[in-house]
Structure 1
Amino acid sequence: MNDSTSDAAIGRITAEQLIARMEQLEISQRALVFAYVGLDISLAALARELEITVAEARTRIQEGLMALRADEDVQLLAGISRAGGRADFHDHIQRLQLEAWFCRWCGGFQVQKGRGRLRLTCSDRCRRERYKITQLEGA
């Protein structure tokens, strides 16, 4: 029998430790590692969004993971398969200062265009859905 309460508690503690260590990474590398490892976004999708090759995306993620693995405290987390739960990821995104890298509606990975206002959503569909909800909440 599996004790989900203790698993959840261990996951939250693990997430706290990992977030503290991830702050040492450069922000774009932090976003890539979080998207790939934490959200299970494929290398191909990340590469397409960043307009780089899959090999380049893989290399950047591996470099970030190697930097984390070099940290002695992170080595203590070996064997833990998940840090936190899916519901915690929006909180993790904020704590890691990655809001600009993820859609505020669906949580999907996004790359900012470099000019103009920051995009809050990854697509027109997410923008419309977010707008509907904010209009209902404001009414």
Structure 2
Amino acid sequence: MMQTDVDAFWANFEQEIGDKIISKTMGQHFSSKKSQGEWGLLVLTASSIRFRPTPGENWFQSLFRMAAPKVPKETASDIVLPLTLITSIELPKRHFFDFLFSPPFTVFALTYRLGENEEHKILLGADPKSELFMKLISTIPVMQGKCKEND
């Protein structure tokens, strides 16, 4: 893909979502802690964090398949979380052997509130070399100077 194609893709993406992109990277969404996760684009804007699944199966699983990858006929919807709903970010503590046995991306949980007493968590992974994570921490209103680390 040529740079003009890449620039056009992101310009169209911004126009589609109606918000300016602050940071973007490849990412993962995990439906549970034991999930292998689905791959997609992780996009941070001034008002939300968005995960857009990319069609196809997990690239790691495809290494062990001889047949063509399964690509869904319908694209999955974006997961969009307004930054104002986020109440905390949780990072797992890194242990010595994590580089061998953990996912390639930094996995983190965003806790968010819907209504008065309805708290939920979403597990995401982001490329640790990208600027997205640090920009996310500095952008979330409730996180001004805070970050929670889990065991």
Same fold per TM (> 0.5)?
A: no
- After TM superposition, the score normalised by the length of structure 1 is 0.28
Structure with the largest fraction of helix: 1
